[in-house]
């Protein structure tokens, strides 16, 4: 697990493009989720300098193999807590957290432990709380005041103190798609070809284009095609006429679908029929 964390942090091997992806998607923290390989549930760098974005990395095992599951559903949160400066409980902390009070909490009666705390000597369930003296669980505080020099445990305060700086590790990225044409008021003729155009940023390199009539999906014109910004659509002669058509273009932003629709309806009109020229009878007189 340590090798994976080091390679992830240093952008080595299969992780050589991680830093570029982190910037592309605006990722303040980066976590690797991988298969369980019997060497612990997670590992992360413990934040010491708030301004140091280089170590906001963690590795989390899925906690299961073919025989059993051993890792808590809170492992991921626990490792992110380390990146935010939170340390284990005092009895299991080899080095301090970001602040003098940045420790998890074990209930003295072994009734529970908080997210960052290790198990009690006699066993105690982990609750879904970071240490916080202002909150209670089953009538007991889940932390100790930051003003106690020897026993303070307030990771909630730790997170509140570091979260703003961490949120600025990478610039926020907003994925966008905008349909340019048809975008309303156009009248496109059946049996002709027209360009569907769009702009896109901070999304995957492929798009899907759908045709709607009256707000109801009519058909998918193209699926998972490269984002070239334009697609030539040959309107079928049999497509029903109507003034209530629209286009939806969809892209993917790290597993989330982002889309845009035509701002207004456009029309599909009939092909114009040419009139036959009238017959003219010519009478030729021989001379």
Residue 235 and residue 270: Cα distance in Å, rounded?
11
- Ordered domains of the chain (ranges, CATH): 2-166 (no CATH), 176-269 (2.60.40.10)
Residue 62 and residue 35: Cα distance in Å, rounded?
5
Looking only at the bridges linking them, the beta strands covering 266-269 and 242-253 are: antiparallel
- Give me the pLDDT at residue 62, please: 82
- Give me the pLDDT at residue 157, please: 98
* Catalytic residue IDs: 79
- Give me the pLDDT at residue 193, please: 98
Residue 24, SS3? Answer: helix
Residue 148 and residue 14: Cα distance in Å, rounded?
46
The Cα-based distances of 92 to 48, 65, 103, 106 in angstroms read 18, 27, 10, 11
DSSP states along 176-244 = EEEEEES-SS-EEETT-EEEEEEEEESS-SEEEEEEEETTEEEEEEEEEEE--SEEEEE--TTSPPEEE
**pLDDT < 70 stretches in the chain:** 38, 64-69, 254, 273-287
Supply the pTM of this predicted model: 0.67
- Give me the pLDDT at residue 256, please: 79
């Amino acid at each position: 697990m340590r090798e994976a964390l080091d390679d992830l942090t240093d952008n080595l091997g299969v992780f050589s493009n991680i830093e570029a992806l982190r910037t592309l998607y605006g990722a303040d923290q980066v976590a690797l989720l991988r298969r369980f390989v019997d060497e612990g549930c997670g590992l992360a760098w413990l934040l010491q300098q708030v301004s140091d974005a280089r170590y906001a990395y963690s590795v989390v095992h899925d906690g299961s193999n073919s025989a059993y599951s051993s890792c808590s559903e809170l492992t991921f949160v626990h490792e992110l807590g380390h990146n935010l400066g939170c340390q284990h409980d005092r009895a299991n902390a080899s080095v301090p957290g970001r602040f003098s009070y940045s420790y998890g909490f074990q209930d003295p009666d072994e009734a529970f432990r908080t997210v960052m705390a290790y198990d009690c000597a006699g066993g105690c369930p982990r609750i879904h709380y970071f240490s916080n003296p202002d909150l209670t669980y089953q009538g007991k505080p889940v932390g100790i005041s930051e003003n106690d020099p020897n026993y303070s445990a307030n990771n909630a305060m730790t997170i509140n103190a570091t979260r703003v700086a961490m949120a600025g590790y990478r610039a926020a990225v907003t994925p966008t798609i905008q349909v340019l044409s048809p975008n309303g008021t156009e009248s496109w003729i059946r049996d002709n070809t027209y360009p569907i155009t769009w702009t896109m940023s901070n999304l995957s390199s492929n798009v899907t284009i759908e045709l709607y009539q009256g707000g109801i999906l009519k058909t998918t014109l193209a699926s998972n095609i490269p984002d070239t910004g334009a697609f030539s659509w040959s309107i079928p002669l049999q497509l029903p006429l109507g003034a209530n058509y629209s286009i939806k273009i969809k892209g993917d932003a790290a597993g989330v679908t982002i889309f845009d629709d035509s701002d207004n309806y456009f029309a599909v009109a009939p092909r114009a029929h040419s009139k036959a020229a009238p017959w003219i009878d010519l009478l030729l007189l021989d001379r």
